[in-house]
Structures are given as C-alpha cells and as structure tokens.
Copies of this chain bind each other. A is one copy, B any other.
Amino acid sequence: MSKQLKLGAFLFAPGNHAGGWRHPHARPETDMDFAAYAHLAQTAERGRFDTLFFQDSAAVPADTLADGGRTGFARATYLEPLSLIAALAPLTRHIGLIATVTTSYNEPYHVARRIASIDHISGGRAGWNLVTSQIEDEAGNFGLDAHLRHAQRYARAEEFHDVVRGLWDSWQDDALERDKQGRYFDPAKVHRLDHQGQHFRVRGPLNVARAPQGHPIVSQAGASEAGRELAARTADLVFTAALTLEEAQAFYRDVKQRARRHGRDPDHIKILPGLLPIVGRSEEEARAKHQRLLDLLPDDLGIKPIARLAGDLDLTQYPLDGPLPELPPNNSAHGRQQLLVDLARRENLTIRQLARHFACAGGHQVVYGTPQTIADHMQAWLENEGADGFIIQFPFFPAPLEEFVEQVVPELQRRGIYRTQYEGATLRDSLGLPRPAHPAEVAR
C-alpha cells in the first residue's frame, strides 16, 4: 500500500484568511455557534480526516480589540477548545479531537485530567496541542506584567509535558477491580508521581483512570531549536509551516533525525505542515477564487500579523512597497519570525506582498487549483518526505471545508493515498501510532 496521508482540519473560526469572514458565503458567527462547529466536525468526519485541530489563545489580542477587527484578524471571541472538543465527542464517532492548551498559564494536573477525561468520553480520540503562549496579551490575564521569555517558556513547557505524561500513567490499565466483595482498586497498581522540579511539584496520582489511548495524542507546533527538540522527544504529531518542498524536506529530515537520536521510531512522529487549499472546478475558477479572497483585504489589512512577528520594530513606519528591514529578536515566536525573513529574502518580497501572503494563511502554504492540482501538490510532498500529511486550513467557514471534502478527498482516495474507511476506534489507530504500554507493565 502507498504511504497514506494524515489529515487534520484546522477549525479556526471565523477563518484562517484575515478577511475571509467578509466573503459573501462566509458564516462568521461560526466562532460562537456550537451547531456550526458540529456541522464542520461531521463534515470533516465524512471526509475521513484523522483529526480536528483547534488553535487557542487566552486573550483578545490588543490590536484586534482596538479597532473591532476592522483591519486585522477578527478572531476575538470563540468557544474554548477543551469545552468544545468534549461537546463534539458524542456527535462524532471516529475523528480525533485535538485542542490547544498553553503550558505557560496552566497547571499540569488540570491539563492531564481534562485531556484524559476527554479521551475517555470520546473513546480514545483526544489530543493535546502543547504550546507555549505566543501572544503577549495573555500575560495580563494571569497576573504578569510581561510575557515569560522564550527560553523560560520552553523550560516550563518541557517540565509541564513530563508531568502530564507522568500523571497519565498514574493508574495501570487493570488497576480498577470494582470487586463488590472486595476492594475498588488495587493500590499497588496506582502510582504517585512525586514530581519535584524547577517549575512544578506534583504528587499525584491523577484521579482519572488510564486513558483508552494510554496517552492521548500530544501535538506540537514549535519551529525554533527548543521547539524542535521538544517535539522530537515528545510529540506524536508536529504541526509546522513550510512554503516550499525543500523547506519542508529539511524540517522533516531534521525532526525525524532528532527523534531517532531520542531513541524513537521516526515513523511514530507525524509531520503535518499547514496547507490552505482553494479549490476550483477549473484552474481559472480557482485563480478567480484566490483573487476574490485577496480583494477582501483593505489596503492596510494584513500588516498586523507580520508586524507582530517583527517584535519591537514598528513595521508601519516603513514603506509598504519597500523591502523588509532587519528585524530585532522577537520574544514571541522565533520559528515563525524566521519563516517570514526567509520568505522575504528568497522571493524578494515587499512588505505589502508579505502582508498579503500572511493575511491569507498566517504564513502557511496556499495552493489554488483543481482537485487534481491540489492532490498533485499533496502527493508530491507525501512521497518526497516533505510531509506525512497536512493540517488543512480554510479561509472561512463552512463552504471551503465542504468543497475540500466533496472534491479533493475523492481524488486523494482514487490515488490510493488516503483512507476510505477509518482503520480503528482511536486517534492512535488513525495515525498508525502504537498504544504506549504502562511503564510498570514494560518493567515486568
């Protein structure tokens, strides 16, 4: 069998394109409408997606707030992802449910518990996209004057991850006996963690039985050195951004090699770049759809996402049609800043061109064309070690997801590189990842 594509659906309401919500077919109220999310989830499941994927921030970005979402991303209010994936669980049967939760402003005991509970509720379909907070605005909602520094955030994230995974092994799989003539559980099969680290002291055990997946899926999106290293050691799935096959291949090779160095099977870490497809029944129609999206942007729109990546430098002081100046180091998102700089240099783009690009999919790859063109692109990356699959992004909701499922998915299936039926019951089954045995079982 050919290597199989793994697909995630990035349900980023009101849309991944900064102006997408203005499209006549867009339903921007999706952001707060549970019934709309349920429709999207069921549509993605009909399209045999491996998983839904929900991004998150614990703040309204200050620049969005300032102008009511007129000139920038309008993403300001939406349903909290952990609550959302829990509620979507009973309305779906097979699709994975990955929610982003920051390690910067949370306690590992709570996060371990919620993700494990949702894994039970969904019969083994939960995943945690581990991030360190990227938007400065979050700090003010949690008692801090400023964001933690990048290195601190990653040190905390490392330890946070280890505590969560340790707590997931609190109970052996057969610890619960519920013997009405005897005891409820075997205390020898329940393990305290007794973690004492630099950032956390956590005794345990978790008050949730071992999850159906053993460990729910851990996803990561860091592209910096620290981010790659954490992903290579710990992640089941890496969400990344790459604009060319060569860039994708370099990242793919690097992370798989790092995983090997950590003693892992490189096939057990799935690398999924973001991809925003614009599907047309002809190349002409696709091009027109793409242009229509670009036309939704006011002239000053889209500068903000890249201005944020520029750190302390005020990009609006530079000519829109001039080149990107040298950028000072940025505390928020090292990897993404590098992507911007690389793109500008490689394609010799002006600030306006960069802004338009980033407005469309936040720095991710945009491909427009017929279902065949889009499938060609995906297949080339799959077969040339650029990707194990993609996190598919949508400029608005719901039409672009419906079109992808109705037009691109059958083409991928026809090529034999994408499932027609789910392989099993859990997200691990879909991703082809083994269920981790409990350490006490391994030791025996």
Contact = CB atoms under 8 A, between A and B. Distances in A.
A58 B113 contact: yes
A178 B28 contact: yes
A76 B143 contact: no
Contact of A207 (B60, B118, B185, B209): B60
Interface string A110-128: 1001101110110000000
A177 B29 CA distance: 10
A76 to B, nearest CB: 6
B207 A59 contact: yes
A109 interface: yes
A313 interface: no
Contact of A208 (B77, B180, B202): B77
The listed residue with most B CB atoms (<10 A of its CB), out of A28, A29, A117, is A117
A69 B113 CA distance: 20
Interface string A59-76: 110000111111000101
Contacts of A24: 180
The listed residue with most B CB atoms (<10 A of its CB), out of A171, A176, A184, is A184
A85 to B, nearest CB: 8
Interface in A175-233: 176-178, 180-187, 190, 200-209
A68 B117 contact: no
A148 interface: no
The listed residue with most B CB atoms (<10 A of its CB), out of A58, A68, A69, A105, is A68
A79 B34 contact: no
Interface in A6-25: 14, 21-24
A137 B192 CA distance: 12
A74 B177 CA distance: 11
A86 to B, nearest CB: 4
A8 to B, nearest CB: 21
B190 A60 contact: yes
Contact of A109 (B21, B58, B82, B186): B58
A87 interface: yes
Given A180-B26, A184-B68, A79 B21 contact: no
B180 A22 contact: yes
Contacts of A247: none
A172 to B, nearest CB: 12
Contact of A79 (B66, B117, B181, B206): B117
B28 A184 contact: yes
Interface residues of A, number: 75
Interface string A146-161: 0000000000000000
B79 A121 contact: yes
B78 A208 contact: yes
Nearest to A107: B142
Nearest to A171: B77
A263 interface: no
B80 A83 contact: no
A76 B175 CA distance: 12
Contacts of A282: none
Contacts of A185: 68-69, 74, 76-77
A214 to B, nearest CB: 15
A327 B228 CA distance: 57
Given A76-B185, A80-B114, A90-B90, 19 more contacts: A21-B180, A24-B180, A29-B176, A58-B110, A67-B187, A74-B184, A74-B185, A78-B208, A79-B208, A82-B83, A82-B86, A84-B86, A84-B121, A86-B87, A105-B107, A107-B142, A140-B201, A141-B202, A141-B203
Interface of A: 14, 21-24, 26, 28-29, 32, 34, 38, 57-60, 65-70, 74, 76-80, 82-84, 86-87, 89-91, 105-107, 109-110, 113-114, 116-118, 120-121, 137, 140-143, 171, 176-178, 180-187, 190, 200-209
14 contacts: A26-B180, A28-B184, A32-B209, A58-B113, A59-B207, A65-B187, A70-B182, A76-B190, A80-B113, A80-B117, A83-B121, A84-B86, A140-B201, A143-B202
Can you list the 9 inter-chain pairs with the closest CB atoms, starting with the nearest? Answer: A69-B184, A140-B203, A68-B183, A74-B184, A86-B86, A80-B117, A70-B183, A83-B117, A83-B86
